[in-house]
Structures are given as structure tokens and as C-alpha cells.
Chain A
């Protein structure tokens, strides 16, 4: 590699809401400034952050300190950030990190992070310049499926690669398993925790990265329903989600509360009756895919604090199950897995997995939360007719290559 003609180092712009300790911008952005551990080496990306736009500067803001130390500039607008004070697009890649910061919350409980607005301003610059550069968008594209779809359409129109989403699809798994490509998945269940709408997004995308590998690829979602409270347990009894898959998912959890925290003993939460007591406000996100697959996200705060998945694959004697590992603070090593994918896209000009995954999940979440405010009704979702194919190769940490 060292022998090839020295290509100029790629120049990156980061467009973010806030940059303070342990914000996404800090732990993701810093990977390009100080490097990150990768495959047993401290890896330093062959690219430089040259420009930063930061929307809010709360107490603890590190944007100027970082700019001073790492010799880049903080610009007052997104356009100037991408132009680096010139007349032409002056960067080779853009990271939009619109997570954290003080933004309004709508009636559906969605934080109105201005990712779409940031992206739109980038596209304005691309349009004027007649070309786009690779864009990474952290987490869901937008709280609004419509806006998310416009973003994907803009990327296609200007033919620039886009990568988006959560770190869960690319973090390590325990065990290190993958859904075989073209498998027939009979039923799937994801267990997640945390608040809506930041954490349910992570859980939904973790599930989607498994399901999209099924036979005939992703075909989109025809209906969703979000149910809450005792109706969640009743739905389990009615067979709308599988208690057996819940047992399989929880068998992968390492963070059960209840007796485990009281006196250490492990427990069979699925059958002991404790689950219903521990989880005061359960929610089930019931998803019906166009090809007939049914999948459920159970948000069970109070019982566990990790993200696990289980599904039945036709022909496999055992249920396939795993934990999406989120290594602890402060290293949050999962963000290194995600930034490695961003680095790959910027270096190669090719997104390692399709942005349509995140588009679809942005939509599933948006409509589930719509169901929540519409008295938990089942909603038909002809709009979520998003079709795509999963990459053949696994993309998660430590995946066999």
C-alpha cells in the first residue's frame, strides 16, 4: 500500500449538533483525530478533519479546543464548512452527527434533531458545485420518514454514497452469529431498552440488519402497531409475539435486574413471573413485512439493560439468538466499529451497506410512534415500500471475512 503513488489525504467535514465529552460527535469525531483500536493495532485513519460546524455550544463544549489542537476550523455555517471558506466544495466526505443537544420534542416523543436540515444544506452546496461527496448520517436519517426519503432521493440524484444508522448492526455480537444469506426467517423478536425515540431506533435497526438477509431480500413493511402496558403481555399470550423467542433473547442478556441485583442469582425471567413485575411500562412494536414476516421489538425497561435478538430460521434446529454488545463507557468501543465503516466509505467511495436499511427503519419508527399517539392502532404503511438487498458479507465486529 505504501508503494502506491501518494494520494492526497482525504479531507473531512463534521456537521454536528454539539461536541462535548461523550457526545456522539466527540467519541465518533475523535476517532479521526486520535485514531482508534482496530484489529489489534492503534489505527490512524489516512484522512483529516478540516472543518467543523457545531449547532449548539453548551457548557463543556470542546469544539474550539479540538479545532485548536488538531488544526482545523470551526465555521459559522454549514455551507462555509463544506467550502472551507472558498467558493468550491473543499472536502471529500461529510459526517452529519445530529445526536445530543437541546432540541424540541414533538407530540410523538420524537426529538427534532435537525439532521434533515443539515443534510439539505450540504446538498445545496453539492448542487451548486455539481458534485457530491460521501455523507455519513449518524442514527436515523430523520424523525420523519418523508424527510428521510427525500435525503435518500437526493443522494441518488447526485450520485454520492450515503451511509447511515446505528452502531448496533456493526458492533460485536455474543455469540458471533449471522443470519445465513437467503434464509427463510419464520419469526423474529428483538429486546431493547431505553427511551423513545433514541433507543428504540437502535433496537429496530439491529433487528433489521438481521432480517434484511432473508430470502428474496427486503421488501418493505405493510403495517405497524405499537402497543403498551398490559396489552403487551396479552399480545404474547395471544401469540402475536413468541414467548419462546423472548426466552432465547433473554438467555443472551447479561444484565437482568430483580433477584440478580438483589442477591446475585441467575434467573429465568421469561417463566418465573418476575418479568411482568419488573417492567412497569412495556411496549411492543409489532411489524408486518410485505412478504409476510412478522417481527416484534419488545422494549422492556426495568428487566434488562442490553439489546438481544432471536429468530427462527427454517431448517435450523436451534433458535438463532445473540446479544448486540455495547461496550461500556467511556471507551464505547462500538463507535470504533461504526467509524471504521465511515472511513471505508470515504476511502473507497462505496457504502459498505445500503442506506435504505436506515431509511426503512426511520420509517418503521416514525409510524410506530404515530400508532402510539393514535391510540395504539394498527397502521397500514404503504409508504414503507422500501426494497433493497443486504450486502453478502457480514459487516459486524469480528465477523468472519
Chain B
């Protein structure tokens, strides 16, 4: 085995050790051919229709529409660990229909394909959906960290690492997020994570300009804390990380709920406890799913009174970055049914704004996962994350801080642990072809 495939501190520092590791991976020696298709294991909480497990796995198994054809990923999904089998489970049907795919009874067995050493070239952790305990703060305790930890043990025992993709945030708990990051760095696991929002279609297809000085940013959407807050935070982050001098991290966060959100709306600007009203207008005006505030009208702009009537449980996260940037995330169920973004850029009279398009209600397919799976495939083929893992480390921490602030009735939470610096990719990574 070449030196670079073994776990070492040097490997950690090397940019992409797993790119080479991919070519020698597999259960037997004959796998050590550069043309061998990477073999992938997935660790999934459950696989039923439209669960993240289903939509990701099925795209690897069946292919998906991509550019002008039906794309079949150049990797093989060969092993599964499935944590829960609800009545509507589809994993067994998939394993029966795809002979190369086997379901194993443990994470370890899935990664070793039943043997005693790591026998796959890439791992996906898909810990979304399924019945898991909910803690006193309302967080579902999905076992993403636990899955990762078990994978880490197999890597350690095997003396070899392979790329790991983690769907959504790293964990519900910051300590676990941080530990996952630490363990991965320690043994040089190439990591990729996050939401499909940063890479889905944008309407219009805009990107943060290079060297932009961003003064304030906002994302407005539907959904609930501990779930969709993450998607909105990743939306904000994938834009603002491209600002002048790159990402610096977040110093403090405040989460508002109920009437406090409407008071913030009335405040009229950041200093007064609110946000830039033009950013809010831009977000609502990019939505394709703005609930009509008046009966008999299909599309009207809501008044503050309309919003207070329509949104039963508004939630806002307001947070400040190390370099002074301010950002707001607003969950407004009942008012909007999609996720939008707006930013105030220094020197530009109008905000940059767009819709992060993941469907408008007529779709039968969660096509945003096409882009996600395409990026995961590239990750497994090259060993290089297509966009920074640190983005999701930061947004995972923001979710945890948001939940903590909600739990503490809107108290500002200092987040010195989220002073995470990183550089964005040079090129845009959202779907535009």
C-alpha cells in the first residue's frame, strides 16, 4: 500500500490523499487497478419513499436526468447499513433488485463488506428521517456522529481512510460536530457535507460577485428549527463565504420566536434589533410560493398585519460575523413555501437576490438531489470535496446555537467556537447547466 494511503499526520496535511486511495481500494488485491469503479457504502437511518436515504441511494442506483441525458454515476453502491426498517422500507426491495448491493447488520460490516478490513472506497452517512428520540430542546437525535464514529473505528483498524459524505448538518450537538471534524482531520479523512440548497438551481442564476463587501444577508423560507434552519443557513453561508477576504466565522447569535420576530420586523434595521427591510422585500419578491394574503387574489404583497395573521410560529436567527457582516435567517411557515436569499453589497444600490429553487409543488421528484448526488459522485471519483466542509461545520454550529438561543428565550449566545475561517471554491458550484 503506498505511503499516502496510510493514516499519518502527513496525510492529513496533504491536500487530497484519498484521490489516490480510491484506486487501490476494494475487498481484494485485484481491485488495485486505476479503472476500477469506486465501491460505496451508505449508512442510512431509513429508506422509504422521499426519505433522504431513498432519494440519494436511488440516484446512485437508477441514475438521474443531468444536463442533456440520463446520467448513471460512475461508482457502485455496494453496501448498506440501515438503522430502521419501517413498514414502507424500500432498502430490501432495492437490494433484491440490484445484485451488487448488500445490506449488512452493522456499520462495521457494511464498511468491511462482511470481511475484517475496510472494503469500500467511499462512505455516505445519511442520517435524516426515521424515528429517533427528541430532546428537551426539540432536536431529533439522528445518529450521524455515531455512524461516523463507527466508520472512524474501521478506518483506524484498517489503517486506511476513504472519503466520507455526511448528509445535512454534522450533528445536533456542537461537541459532536467538533469531534467529528477533529477525528476526520486527525486521520486525514476527506470530508464533504451539507444541504442540497447551495448547489440547486437559482432563479435567477446569480452568484456573489468576487471581492464583494457584503454588509448584510438574509434567507427567508419555510420549515422548522433543527431541520430547515440548516438549509437556510447553508444558503446564506454559500453566498457570504465568497465575500472579500473569505470566511471569518460567527461571533454571536440570537434566535427570536413569536411576537419578538414581528417586533424585529418593525424595528426597521439591524442596529434597532431588526434587519434591512429591502432584503426582506427582495426575499418575498423572489419567492414563487408566497401565500396570498387576501382571498380572491393569487399574488399580493403582505402587510405586517397579514404576516402576523398568517404565520403562527415565526422564527428568526440573527447573527454577526467576525468581520462585522450581519445575517438573518427567517422561518415563516404560512407565508412562504420556498427558500430565498438576499444580500446588501457595498456600492450596489439594489440587493443581490434569488430563489434557491427546489420545486414549486408540481414535481414528482426532489431534483435538488440530482445536483447533490452529482457532487457526491465527483467527491468519490476525485477524493476532493467540491465545496468546503468547513461551511457545514460552521452552519452545524449555527443550528446548535440557534436552538440554544431559542431555548434561552432569545438570549444572545457568544460563539467563539464558531470563529471558523475558510476559503470558498474559486468557481461557482450551483447548478446552472
Contacts and interface: CB of A to CB of B under 8 A. Distances in A.
Nearest to A320: B68
B49 interface: yes
Contact of B54 (A35, A264, A326, A336): A264
Nearest to A326: B362
A333 B299 contact: yes
Contacts of A39: 285, 350
A30 B297 contact: yes
A184 B214 CA distance: 43
Interface string B291-303: 0100011111100
Contacts of B93: 263
B100 interface: no
Interface in B358-409: 359-365, 367, 370
A103 interface: no
A257 to B, nearest CB: 6
B362 A264 contact: no
B357 A174 contact: yes
B320 interface: no
A78 interface: no
Interface in B159-203: 201, 203
A254 B292 CA distance: 25
Contacts of A320: 68
B69 interface: yes
A21 B296 contact: yes
Interface residues on A, range: 35 or more
B70 A328 contact: no
Contacts of B286: 37, 40
Interface residues of B, number: 56
B65 A263 contact: no
A255 interface: yes
B193 to A, nearest CB: 23
Given A260-B365, A328-B362, A398-B205, A266 B301 contact: no
A144 B54 CA distance: 50
Contacts of A267: 62
B409 to A, nearest CB: 33
Contacts of A35: 301
B85 interface: no
A313 to B, nearest CB: 11
A328 B203 contact: no
Contacts of B370: 266
A248 interface: yes
Contacts of B50: 264
A38 B285 contact: yes
Contact of A331 (B55, B65, B299, B350): B299
B335 interface: no
A192 B93 CA distance: 33
Given A37-B287, A175-B432, A328-B289, 14 more contacts: A21-B296, A37-B290, A40-B281, A174-B201, A174-B357, A250-B70, A251-B66, A251-B69, A254-B359, A255-B364, A256-B364, A257-B364, A265-B54, A306-B362
Interface of A: 21-22, 26-27, 30-31, 34-42, 62, 65, 172, 174-176, 247-248, 250-257, 260-261, 263-268, 270-271, 305-306, 310, 318-321, 325-333, 336, 397-398
* For the complex of A and B, 10 pairs with smallest distance between CB atoms: A398-B204, A251-B65, A37-B285, A248-B68, A40-B282, A328-B361, A327-B288, A319-B68, A40-B353, A328-B360
